[in-house]
Amino acid sequence: MSNYVLALPDNLLNFLTLIELLQYRANKQSNQTAYTFLKNGETEEISLSYQELEQRARAIAAYLQSLNTKGERALLLYQPGLEYIAAFFGCLYAGVIAVPAYPPRFNKPMPRLQAIVADAQAKIALTTTSILTNIEEQFPHTPDLATLHWIATDTIDRDVIEKWQQPLINSDTLAFLQYTSGSTGTPKGVMVSHGNLLHNLSLIYQCFEHQPHSQGVIWLPPYHDMGLIGGILQPLYGGFPVTLMSPTAFIKKPFRWLQAISHYKATTSGGPDFAYDLVCRQITPEQKATLDLSSWDIAFTGAEPIRVETLERFATTFAPCGFRPEAFYPCYGMAETTLIVSGGLKKAVPIICSIKGADLEENRVIAGSGKQEGDRLLVGCGKTQLNQKIAIVNPQTLTLCPPNQVGEIWVSGPSVAQGYWHRPSQTLETFDAYLADTKEGPFLRTGDLGFLQNGELFITGRLKDLIIIFGRNHYPQDIEMTVEKSHPALRPSSGIAFSLDIAGKERLVVAQEVERSYSRKLNADEVIKAILQAVSEQHDLQAYAVLLVKTGSLPKTSSGKVQRSACRGEFLAGTLDIVADWCVNPQHKIKFRSLEAEVKTLWQKLQSGQHS
């Protein structure tokens, strides 16, 4: 298995915990700015030096130690910003296990937060005075939250610093619980140790070829692995500054992301595929004229399917601003591996692979020309790194797949986390897998499907989301892309395809959000016909039901990933916010039926080759 190996500075090889790392930075780079947060997403900024962060962390830790909290789980409920970072390190400095979570919206249900509190068995909650005031008003309706010991860390007196005592921890000590986004099930707390973090941070440092003069710009949610580890901890590990903004600031005005990169001369920034697509769709010529992206040499992309079209469009759109295609850095990772699993060479352009779609349906990888109908273009996510191993395994036989065959991606190495918090059976099933014939292991079963080609990893989909109809494999993300492109009234990256067992046969259901600008003038007949025809022509499938739903109403995780199983449940429960719909079965409780006869005729024509 070929790896990319780069040398690390000597000072990064000896740390056993993140406490030692921050103490080193506070001593050697005491007055250097570590974090800058853009309060309005643009110009209003506040900063923390390494020394200031270390002092604030010790103050919070000293207060926690006075409560005898070592080994307890502490819920972190903060808006993105410097208070959150200080609280996270305060937990580490106290030997308390941090549990990052999104602060609840005022007067909104909090089922996910309550589930995390119950699962983590948290007894402490850290937050700010303003957030605590809002949460306290909801205590009568959330007794489980009311029983927590709430601490507003912005009120802790700095004088308690002197009472802090170095905790007895090592590389095996749990640092925090990273609750999974829940895209394929109930969120689970991944147990991440100090050793896991330091190994994975070294992987990222090598992959991205970071240097002390690097500069980061990050808008990603700090409660998830990419935002916390890649955006907050990696700059600390490398000893270079990072400028942060809230995800909301980015979503409301995507230009702010590129504006910050241009202003701060950032070398490293990135996000999921949708972020690059969103900027392309909303940028104006006037905004582009103000940008200089020539400093940006690591534009990482991951966390969801990476689309060739997105990379090409972004590179073309921002070439006049100095953006270079080789800056793109596709990578693969997940919470269960701390963060990164694989990545490529910094200065290389992304590797694109064309394979025949028909063979992929049979789990075979056959090279295509990229020009034939049905060919599928995949973006490579790099190779294994630093004592890690990737295996492609048949999920039924649990044996290695032969070359040119799709299988489940298994991973082993020091970055693989310790398991799921208080879930021994699921930990055993996911984190303790062995090959059936050679008994090699243990491996982490990622649940993702893919293949290796010359050591390069290509992701094809999720094992649990795979749609199998009439014995053929269909990847939902392919169908979802087809649907969103079928009509301009459909919102990008906001569709879900899933299957239902109808009378003993698997049938396809598509739910797709409508662009807000089309809501009042929606021609539902036209849009549904376009969806049905596109799915038929490109996937040789007849949809059982097509649902057009209200903008922003499809179930997604807090990190923006679509929740296919949740959508399926809402469809069966009749709780989707449907604007218009159609179904093959007139007995099904679907509002929109006027197209049924016309669509059946269309389907017959398509099957007989009469379509234009």
Q: What is the pLDDT of residues 301-338, one digit of tens each?
A: 987 789 899 999 999 999 999 999 999 999 999 999 99
Asked if pLDDT for residue 348 goes beyond 50, the answer is yes
Q: Which fold has domain 356-462?
A: Luciferase; domain 3 (2.30.38)
Contact 32, 241 (CB under 8 A): yes
Backbone angles phi, psi at 165, to 5 degrees: -120, 135
What pLDDT band is residue 591 in, cutting at 50, 70 and 90? Answer: very low
Provide the CA 32 distance to its chain's centre, in angstroms.
30
pLDDT at 589: 46
- 456: its two tokens: 């390069």
* Per-residue pLDDT at 448 exceeds 50: yes
Q: Is the pLDDT of residue 124 over 90?
A: yes
Mean pLDDT is lowest, of 93-102, 115-124, 467-476, 603-612, for 603-612
Q: Tell me, what's the pLDDT at 505? A: 72
Q: What is the pLDDT of residue 136?
A: 87
DSSP H or E segment with residue 281: helix 273-282
| Residue range 464-478: mean pLDDT, rounded | 79
Give the pLDDT confidence score for residue 268 in this predicted structure: 98
Pairing of strands 242-244, 216-218: parallel
Cβ atoms 390, 8 nearer than 8 A: no
Q: Which residue in the block uniquely carries the two structure tokens 């310790």?
A: 418
Q: Could you please report the per-residue DSSP string of 460-472?
A: EEETTT-EEETTE
Under the banding of pLDDT at 50, 70 and 90, the label for residue 44 is confident
Structure tokens, 69: 């909290």
> How many other β-carbons are positioned within 10 Å of the β-carbon of residue 68?
8
Instruction: Give percent of the chain above pLDDT 90.
Output: 64
Of the two residues 62 and 598, the one the predictor is more confident about is 62
Span(s) in the chain for CATH 3.30.300.30: 467-607
pLDDT at 5: 37
What per-residue confidence (pLDDT) applies to 590?
45
pLDDT value of position 594: 39
Model confidence at 536, in pLDDT bands (50, 70, 90)?
Answer: confident
Q: Which residues of 421-431 are buried (b: 16+ CB within 10 A; e: fewer)?
A: bebeeebeebb
* CATH topology for the 467-607 domain: GMP Synthetase; Chain A, domain 3 (3.30.300)
13: pLDDT strictly greater than 70:
no
Closest CA to 338 of 235, 416, 448: 416
Tally helices (H) and strands (E) across the chain: 20, 27
pLDDT at 593: 36
Q: Judge contact between 89 and 18, C-beta under 8 A.
A: yes
Report pLDDT for 519.
Answer: 81
> Which residues are within 8 A (CB) of 130 and not within 5 positions of it... i.e. 6 or more apart?
none
Give residue 365's identity as a one-letter amino acid code: V
Distance (Å, whole) CA 596 – CA 590: 11
Higher-pLDDT residue of 287 and 476 is 287
pLDDT at 419 over 60: yes
Phi/psi at 276 (nearest 5 deg)? Answer: -65, -40
Question: Is the per-residue pLDDT at 441 higher than 80?
Answer: yes
Q: Is 611 helix (H, G, I), strand (E, B) or coil?
A: coil
Per-residue pLDDT tens digits for 78-123: 999 999 999 999 999 999 999 999 877 766 667 778 889 999 999 9
pLDDT at 606 over 90: no
Yes or no: say if 271 and 301 are a contact pair by the CB < 8 Å rule: yes
The 10 Å CB-count burial string (b at 16+, else e) for 135-163 is beebeeebeebeebebbbbbebeeebbee
CA–chain centroid gap for 223, Å, is: 11
User: How high is the pLDDT of residue 209?
Assistant: 94
At 603, list the tokens.
């389907």
Alpha helices per DSSP H over 485-573 = 524-539, 564-573
Q: What pLDDT shows up at residue 99? A: 97
User: Cα 351–184–488 angle (5° rounding)?
Assistant: 65
> pLDDT per residue over 155-191, tens digit each?
999 889 999 999 999 999 999 999 986 544 577 999 9
Q: Phi and psi (nearest 5°) for 258?
A: -70, -30
Residue in the structure block whose two tokens are 């915990």 = 17
Contact 187, 180 (CB under 8 A): yes
For strands 472-474 and 189-193, give the pairing. Answer: unpaired
Please determine, for residue 295, whether its predicted confidence score (pLDDT) is greater than 60.
yes
For residue 585, pLDDT beyond 80: no
Mean pLDDT value of segment 560-570 = 82
Give the mean model confidence (pLDDT) for residues 140-147.
Answer: 85
Cβ partners under 8 Å of residue 129, min gap 6: 152, 154, 155
Q: What is the pLDDT of residues 199-249, one digit of tens each?
A: 999 999 999 999 999 999 999 999 989 999 999 999 999 999 999 999 999
Amino acid, single-letter form, for residue 32: Q
Cβ neighbors of 478 (< 8 A, separation 6 or more) are 357, 376, 539
- pLDDT of 255 higher than 80: yes
Secondary structure E strands in 153-310? 174-179, 189-193, 216-218, 242-244, 268-271, 298-301
Average pLDDT over residues 568-585: 86
Where in the chain are all domains bearing CATH 2.30.38.10?
A: 356-462
